[in-house]
Amino acid sequence: MVRVLENGRSTATCYFDEYSRRVRVDDYEGSLDEILTLVEAKMPSWAEKLIVKSRPDDVRFFESKGLRREAFIAGYYAGTDMHFMVRYLSTERSHSSREADEDAIVRAVLLVPPSTSPATSVQVKFAGPEDAEDLARLYREAFRIYPTPVYDPDHVRKTMEEGTLYVLIRESGKVISAASAEINAKYRNAELTDCATAEGHEGKGYMRALLMALEEELKRRGITCLYTIARSASFGMNKAFHQLGYAFGGRMTKNCMIYSGMEDMNVWYKSFDRTTSG
């Protein structure tokens, strides 16, 4: 649930995510002390992690208040970098038992050469409301646990109305692969997410075709930063973004409920117009 916290001088736009037991500050304006006070006053009892999307000049302030940088995205703010600053409210939440294995996955992914080959020759369709039922069906089959209700066609239609782009591939009338882009027009960025391929259709280059189609359309719309937050345990998804030229921006510990439970997530980004170094 998105909530705007304000006191007349300062404003914080926050995402209260009870499912993944976290609060994320997506945007803010005004006094940093007042912003943090507003957020801390509304922290629910179930929250185990606070995430603040910080501008570069504000990183030292948040560090002085006990937050630490966990990852970053170059060019997120219309060309200026964004840093994920976090504070853990649960000791158990702040540590991952999978760190060594996930480090090994990133090292292996980074050894794979980027690919300049074109996507596999399939028909990619930009989805409309009429595709919501079929998209939701694919997501129900693909995701046992997921941080947003993409398995609900009403949710899919609502996000479409709010500007999210969905692309899909059909075979014999059935949606067998899909992905989406959540667009932030204010800051000219987009998150590539909801990537799923039906069982038995993996490894055929479908996801590459979908992501390339999204990237082309997003660039046409003036988006200057693309990013994704991928499961750290998934070699395939991390490799897919690395091969498309995305850079590794760090790992977020026990960031959300997905697939097997509370999982670590890797940040990957591609920036076309940077004004500040990360």
The tens digit of pLDDT for each residue in 24-52 reads 999 999 999 999 999 999 999 999 999 99
Q: What Rg do the C-alpha atoms of the chain give, in angstroms?
A: 19
Domains of the chain by start residue, with CATH: 2-94 (3.40.630.30), 99-271 (3.40.630.30)
CB atoms within 10 A of CB 170: 16
pLDDT digits (tens, 9 = 90+) for 205-223: 899 999 999 999 999 999 9
Global pTM value: 0.94
Buried b (16+ CB within 10 A) or exposed e, 186-210: ebbbbbbbbbbbbeeeeebbbbbbb
Residue (of 112, 122, 134) closest to 237 by Cα position? 112
pLDDT number for residue 275: 46
